[in-house]
Amino acid sequence: MRALLALWLSPVLGFWTWHLLASRGIYFSQEFHTEVFRLYADTLGMEPDAITALLAKALVTDGLILLAIFAFRRRRAILGFMRPRLARAWTSGRALLAG
């Protein structure tokens, strides 16, 4: 699981680091950043401004998929942690409703 997380996180961190530094002209010039995004947009057939939002949505979607895989793999530990708390909340909730 750690290897999967590292393989997912390293290109994501690399891209967002480059994007934030290049878009502000710190790492590369603003013209280079704009040209890279224009080239990428031409390849995909979309507007260059939509690429950042598209990548952000992909990051959230991938993160949720990885979280679901992690939760599925650790479901016994998660259920063992949650059962006493849910039982306590259920009994206290019933007591509040009864009186």
Question: Per the structure, how many domains does the chain have?
Answer: 1
Name the DSSP letter for residue 47: -
Q: How many CA atoms lie within 13 A of 16 on its CB side?
A: 11
Condensed to tens digits (0 to 9), the pLDDT of residues 62-97 reads 889 989 999 999 999 999 999 988 888 888 766 555
Q: Say if 61 falls within a structural domain.
A: yes
Q: Under a CB-based contact definition with an 8 Å cutoff, are residues 21 and 27 in contact?
A: yes
**Whether this model's pTM surpasses 0.85:** no
Q: Under a CB-based contact definition with an 8 Å cutoff, are residues 1 and 73 in contact?
A: yes
Give me the percent of the chain exceeding a pLDDT of 90.
27
Full residue range of the structural domain in which residue 37 is found: 2-74
